[in-house]
A and B are shown apart, each in its own frame.
Chain A
Amino acid sequence: MKSIVIATSFVLLATTAAAQVDLTGVWAPYRGGRGADPKLAAPAATPLVLKPQYAGPFEAKRKADADAAAKGEPIASGAVACVPYGMPRMMQVALYPIEILPTQGQITIVTEAFSEVRRIYMNTPQLPMGDVPPGYYGRSVGKWEGDTLVVDTIGIKTTVPAYQNIPHSDQMRITERLRLVTKDILHDQITIDDPVVLEKPITYTLAYRRMPGYEMVEFVCDNNREYIDEKGGTHLRVRDR
């Protein structure tokens, strides 16, 4: 009987702790800056080490991108053609905010850039790696570990570039640990594990600040004056009159 009471109390305490963490609302990238508390800024990322067969082509592509940019014809990313970012890059695009919307059994994240939507199913088992149809957002499941929301994502299409545009395989797994470091500063620690492409997992952190009262701005990509030439270079369509 006593053990039941203790177990019940523990569950209640755990539930109460989780319930106190409310991520609801709009969050903008937090860049720190002069005068900011360094503890609030995102810690540095771990080194990016690709397996040799991927490192060579990746460096070659970086160089080609730099050369094209120097000529004023940067190699277009998908965003130039208004293709959304997908996971994990959608979690921080320039200065665009994201909106976190917890509901019963689910946490939905809507981004302002390109109006991307991802759904995190809470306390639900993840599917086996090969059972998720490849897409931009894959399948995300989440659970609270104390004050930290832990999210597991698999099923990201291999054509969707990952962190720093690294290539990835269909074995990529993204683990996020979202935690409030203060009432109004949120960190999302992201670990990318891909045993095919990476020598070891990469971990980096995104920092956000709360935006009370902010109303998300719509983003429908209907006036794209940039275009991509046959070599993949980006150009601006200039009008005569």
Chain B
Amino acid sequence: MIALLLAGLLHHSFAMFDTTKAVTLVGTVTVFEWTNPHAYIELDVPGDAGAVKHWTIELGSPSILQQAGWKFKDLKFGDKVTAVVSPLKSGQAGALLSRITMPDGRVLTNGPVGRQ
């Protein structure tokens, strides 16, 4: 289902990511780049024993995100978010965003869902 949705949102294959998995990352935003061909969020995620893992999360492009209700100022350094992502199949700390709970409680997706 996620795969089907993403196929309509991205301009190229997303097979780098394992869309059968949904990993929840709770962390702090260090970078939010509203750029083409993709926007990116970098996230510091505290793990066990105090270690912090730094994640690179790929989003759609500003055009697609805007259609899903995003704005370019929606995130900033230090924001606390919860992101549900499809991780890279390679095992590196990179992922494709599925949905995110913003600091103000809004839940945004990686593109418009259920729109014609």
The interface of chain A, by Cβ under 8 A from chain B, is 30-33, 36, 68-77, 79-80, 82, 93-97, 112-113, 209, 217-226, 234-241
Are the C-beta atoms of B13 and A219 separated by less than 8 Å?
A: no
Residue pair B116, A209 in contact (C-beta under 8 Å): yes
The 5 closest A-B pairs by CB, nearest first: A72-B89, A69-B15, A223-B35, A74-B13, A74-B15
Contacting pair A220 B36 (CB below 8 A)? yes
User: Inside 8 A of B13's CB, which chain A residues have their CB?
Assistant: 69, 74-75, 77, 234
Question: Complex Cα distance A76/B54, Å?
Answer: 26
Give A240 to B11 CA distance when docked, in angstroms: 26
Cα A79 to Cα B37 in complex, Å, equals: 9
A77:B15 contact, CB within 8 angstroms: no
Is the Cβ of A238 less than 8 Å from the Cβ of B88?
Answer: yes
In the complex, what residues of B have CB within 8 A of residue A234's CB? 12-13, 15-16
Given A72-B90, A94-B9, A225-B56 in contact, is the A36-B16 Cβ separation under 8 Å? no
Q: Which residues of B contact A (CB under 8 A)?
A: 8-18, 30, 33, 35-38, 40, 42, 54, 56, 58, 61-64, 66-67, 88-90, 92-94, 111-112, 114-116
* Cβ contacts A to B, 13 pairs, < 8 Å: A70-B15, A72-B18, A73-B15, A76-B12, A95-B63, A113-B11, A217-B62, A222-B36, A223-B33, A224-B38, A226-B37, A237-B56, A238-B56
Using A72-B89, A95-B111, A238-B92 as known contacts, say yes or no to A219 and B61 having CB atoms under 8 A apart: yes
Closest to A65 in B: B13
- The answer to whether B16 touches A222, judged by C-beta atoms less than 8 angstroms apart, is no
Interface centre among B9, B13, B33 (most CB of A within 10 A): B13
Contact B94 A238 (CB under 8 A): yes
Q: B11 near A94 (CB under 8 angstroms)?
A: yes
Check B40–A225 contact: CB distance below 8 A.
yes
The verdict on A225 contacting B38 (CB below 8 Å), with A72-B16, A94-B10, A94-B11 known, is yes
Chain A residues in 8 Å Cβ range of B16: 72-74, 234-236
- Given A72-B89, A77-B13: A236 touches B37 (CB 8 Å cut-off): no
CB of A31 within 8 A of CB of B64, answer: no
Closest A residue to B53 by beta carbon equals A240
Q: How far is the CA of A96 from the CA of B67 in the complex (A)?
A: 10
Of all chain B residues, the one with the shortest Cβ separation from A209 is B116
> How many Å lie between the Cα of A170 and that of B67 in the bound state?
38
Which residue, A68, A97, A223, A240, has most C-beta atoms of chain B within 10 A? A223
Chain A proximity of B80: nearest CB distance (Å): 18
Interchain CB contact (< 8 A) of B63 among A68, A219, A222, A239 = A219
Complex Cα spacing A30 to B115, Å? 9
Q: Shortest beta-carbon distance, A233 to chain B, in Å?
A: 9
Given contacts A30-B116, A94-B9, A217-B63, contact A239 B38 (CB under 8 A): no
In the complex, how many angstroms separate the beta carbon of A129 from the nearest chain B beta carbon? 30
Query: How far apart are A191's CB and chain B's nearest CB, in angstroms?
Result: 24
- Residue of A32, A220, A236 touching B116 (CB-CB under 8 A): A32
Partner of A95, one of B14, B88, B112: B112
**Chain B nearest CB, measured from A35 CB (Å):** 9
Cβ distance A222 to chain B, nearest Cβ, rounded Å: 7
